Amino acid sequence: MALIPLVHPERPKPRLKPFTALSRMQKLINNKEDTEQVFHIIEALNGDHLLKELEAFRATENGRARIEERRALAPLLDNHDWIRDLPEGTVGRAYIRFMEAEGLSAEGLVAESDKFHSKRYDDLVEWFGNRKRDTHDLFHVLSGYGRDALGEASLLAFTHGQAGGGRGVIFIAFMGCRQIRKSLPRHIDVMACYREGRENGASACKIVEQDILALMEEPLDAARARLGIAKPVAYRKALAEIRQLMDAEALMAPA
């Protein structure tokens, strides 16, 4: 495979833009499905973290193997035919069940990303950023965090733990949990989900370094055990309490 530069010479140097991040965060709070805002916030706050993360990735044997392959993951993950042929109970079967239940596609996230990235750079920074983007929904499946608002915020905390930093992602995770906490009784410990997500992500093997095609063939429970992904206990507890609260409110509502 042809060599490409680590950083394209025309790629602009990242700048911190905290006020942009705040305004974009408000838009995301108003509409959690407005995924484009996530890319704006991360770009506004992360500085050169993606490059530092890529350099750490390149320093590992798995990372170098993934760079050598340089697979484009979105088309492979959206081809459910080969995944559907995998045995029941595998990561792949859990993945397509999740994606189809939620009406998602890897290319859908690519489209949201394309709204933000007006110019492409043929460098490893872009490839690595795309790899992180395209594995987002696989993170949901492996970590056990759902697509509800608390699950998304907790997953971003998990992602921050995996990445070893990055102000953009953790800002979204923290602000998301903080916003959710405002609307719930104090006994529902939303911030425990935030802390748990960070800890679970940091203690697990880095998913982005894995051979994703081989990972899809593994039994889900075995893959979680191999990667050291702990169960999202605090999140499941909070989610059960939220559902119980919603059921109680529905029963009390006038007919």
pLDDT by position in tens, the chain (length 255): 667 889 999 998 988 899 899 999 999 888 888 888 988 899 899 999 999 999 999 999 999 999 999 999 999 999 999 999 999 999 999 999 999 999 999 999 998 888 877 678 889 999 999 999 999 999 999 999 999 999 999 999 999 999 998 899 999 999 999 999 999 999 999 999 999 999 999 999 999 999 999 999 999 999 999 999 999 999 999 999 999 988 776 666 665
Q: Which two tokens stand for residue 239?
A: 């989610």
pLDDT of residue 255: 54
pLDDT of residue 240: 95
pLDDT of residue 117: 72
pLDDT of residue 14: 87
